[in-house]
A and B are shown apart, each in its own frame.
Chain A
Amino acid sequence: MSAAWDVVVVGAGPAGLAAATLAAGQGARTLLLDEQDAPGGQIYRAIERTRDDPALRRILGPDYTHGDGLVAGMRACAAQYAPGTSVWQITPEREVWATRAGRSEAMRAGTLILATGAMERPVPLPGWTLPGVMTVGGVQILLKSAGMVPEGLVLAGSGPLLYLVAWQLVRAGKPPAALLDTASDDNLRPALRHLPAALRPTALGYLAKGLALRRVLRRAGLALHADVTDIRIEGDTRAEAVSFRSAGQPRRLVAAMIALHEGIIPAQQMTRSIGCAHEWDAQQHAFRPVLDTWGNTSVAGILVAGDASGIVGARAAEHAGRIAAWEALCQLGRVDAAARDRGAAADRAGLAAHRAVRPLLDRLYAPRAEILRPADDVTICRCEEITAGQVRAVVARGCAGPNQAKNFLRAGMGPCQGRLCGTTVAELIAAELGTGVAEVGYFRIRPPLKPVALAELAAMDTEDAP
């Protein structure tokens, strides 16, 4: 197949759903590609299925239900929706190569809107690779897609998602055995500077929800450990216990299931592989693509919306998706600049309102140095089993950046292509060299973005490729 589309949207989370719905509604031939089998992204995962499960809906809370309208809007629009489709290569000329049900196809896009969302920040700490250790996002996937909750779970880390999941587990009647909160008390004072912005109406709603949620957690009677540092997961073949310090005091809990979370960061593999320019966001401790206010990347005709642009949250992502769609329509010549500006005005106001709380959250839940730059004995590249100490050692031997670290150590050369270790490798090298993460940069990402069977590649009809 060599179909040509006006707009190809990658990712069916809030940004992608909103972008595809608007673009199709304005008459653009729109294709929505998504890796998942059902629309909603991570935040509204399984939202169509849970509609018939009021008990689960009650556990997940009202913010989740907001996704109903978004998904319904997409279902009703003229966009072609392709679930279960993995995009494995995008060229700067906007050719999209994707696989679905064991068959790969190449497509051509007039404009591309990448709404690939975020990933959880890897939490490399001693023992994090042991069986029994998962991510808090993983816990939520179990909850949303299977209504399952692990018993006796210890949650550790910080950030809005951690508290939300703890709250959801309490409502599910299976409260976590303990919550180890790694947010540093030292974050409070610098975060206060961002408080005024967070007191605007929409932002205040986030704060009120956050406080209510924490009140529920306190009353639920679970063991809350504050100001946690030095987490070490113990066990020979699987997690057996977790030791840590809380406000400096050593503690140890027996635990077979531990879920970690230190916030989320933009998924940058796709924009990196295309060659879009990126910048370091010191506030979010993550790389993000360089974008203008419409979401245009440095590569013509390729836009980014939602958390992939820098963490903005689900509601802001929806607005950003529509803003990007207006710009795409304008680039395609379907609307003029004045119509684009008019169309996007309400979404611009919405985006600003929902983003206002972000600086406060970013500062409040800034990850600790021990997570960003772990101790020497901690594995940082799980694919190739490389430790932080090995990275520090090759810096001493002349390794000046993540790409050289690939060559020295194979760090980032496994099947995940550095998705899990990339930021940590960059942080470690920058610290060793006494320079900034922006200066040392990131892995060059090599296609395919996901492994592809050689037979599937061979089966592609090259005559028919765009």
Chain B
Amino acid sequence: MTRTADAIVVGGGLHGCSAALHLARRGRKVVVVEKNSVGRHASGVNAGGVRRLLRALPEIPLSCAAMEMWHHIGDLVGDDCGFKVSGQVAVAETAAGFEGLRARAAEVAALRYGHEELIDADELYRLLPALKPGCVGGLVSRADGFASPYHTTMAFRAAAIRAGVVVLEDTRALGFRRAGGTWSVETSAGALQAPVLVNCGGAWAARVAAALGETVPLEPIAPMMMVTAPMAHFVDPVVIGVERKLSFKQAANGTVVIGGGHRGVPDLDNDSSSVDFRKLVISATTVGTLFPVMRGAQLVRSWSGIESRLPDDIPVIGPSATQDGAFHAFGFAGHGFQLGPVVGAILAELIDTGVTNLPIGPFAITRFTPTGVAA
């Protein structure tokens, strides 16, 4: 039996659910195809940072638009998603690190964005009293925060379903064909047909793109996280390292989640990844150095999730360069969670009207196509 719809979204992560929700709100009939369960990979197990701070410049307009949505996330999905405004602070331990932050602040200010604020040591220690002595200063984005990633993804899923979206979990997309303006997607649960195909396949998105004749240099990665047993409250903002790879935050229940760039080993074919304790040893050293109180922490759990990145560490967002009626959003390089609400809205707008107000030019898939070869 063939199921028909207005759009087929491949991938039931946050971006897929968000795109489906926004499309449904525009009156489209949408089917989401998810090979595992919604939020199983990057969307459900990331650190939950809701961050504009230190975004790549092309991402800033999208990130700021997303931030507006996060501050009213309940209006969008009927759920608070565990979102808390805590502020995010980048800590410079050295004068050189602080000069880097100063240059960054100037660059962002020149673009007329006001969210990144350079702070001196006094303000840094006011925000982070438990920080080791001797740090030079920082950069803060006070209205940033964090949310609960799985909770958020499930809230988007639930809102999408309420809006009429059909979510097929444990359903694998096996083949893509386009004929007469209609996409036919073979899945492990039967055939689907729709005029529009949306690729939100996360780390697996390159396989979908390849089926559309588009080669992208997408590299699977497995960011790692650690969480400690509950500790007495010692920090409010999310902390980001400047000289070292680190990000961490303390949750309301006292547990501390430590992440920040060290990577495990992804295994796309088995839908799994594994942690590399050699690198977690580095994270443990870093966090104990920056926050001496953390030396008394008990590590209770570590994990990794499967994400993907492109060579320039910004995503692909926009229409396919080879196929009509196909759209992409993938390759968020470990910082796509905050963008989830807005990228879905952009895709829905593009599909519905053919244009979007937000500047998505830098995210075109054609940037990886040799000049003159793009279709």
Contacts and interface: CB of A to CB of B under 8 A. Distances in A.
A462 B279 CA distance: 8
Contact of B284 (A91, A92, A446, A457): A457
Contacts of B294: 454
A288 B229 CA distance: 29
A435 interface: no
A446 B284 CA distance: 17
- Contact-size category for B: 20 to 34
B296 interface: yes
A396 B263 CA distance: 36
B154 A407 contact: yes
Given A400-B169, A457-B280, A415 B229 contact: yes
B296 A417 contact: no
B229 A455 contact: no
Contacts of B169: 400
A446 B301 contact: yes
Given A448-B299, A452-B299, A458 B281 contact: yes
Most chain B C-beta atoms within 10 Å of own C-beta, residue among A89, A448, A458: A458
The size class of the interface chain A forms with chain B is 20 to 34
B281 to A, nearest CB: 5
Contacts of B300: 414-415, 417, 448, 451
B39 A413 contact: no
B295 A462 contact: no
Interface string A74-92: 0000000000000001011
B299 A465 contact: no
Interface in A355-413: 398, 400-401, 404, 407-408, 413
Contacts of B295: 454-455, 458
A97 interface: yes
Interface string B203-225: 00000000000000000000000
B228 interface: yes
B83 interface: no
B44 interface: yes
B303 interface: yes
User: What are the 9 tightest A-B residue pairs by CB atom distance, in nearest-first order?
Assistant: A407-B150, A457-B284, A458-B285, A458-B284, A454-B297, A455-B295, A451-B298, A446-B301, A446-B303
Interface of A: 89, 91-92, 97, 106, 275, 398, 400-401, 404, 407-408, 413-415, 417, 446-448, 451-455, 457-458, 460, 462, 465
23 contacts: A106-B277, A275-B272, A401-B37, A404-B37, A407-B39, A407-B44, A407-B150, A415-B229, A446-B302, A447-B275, A447-B277, A447-B301, A448-B299, A451-B300, A454-B295, A454-B296, A454-B297, A455-B297, A457-B277, A457-B280, A458-B285, A458-B295, A462-B278
Interface of B: 37, 39, 44, 150-151, 154, 157-158, 169, 228-229, 272, 274-275, 277-278, 280-282, 284-285, 287-288, 294-303
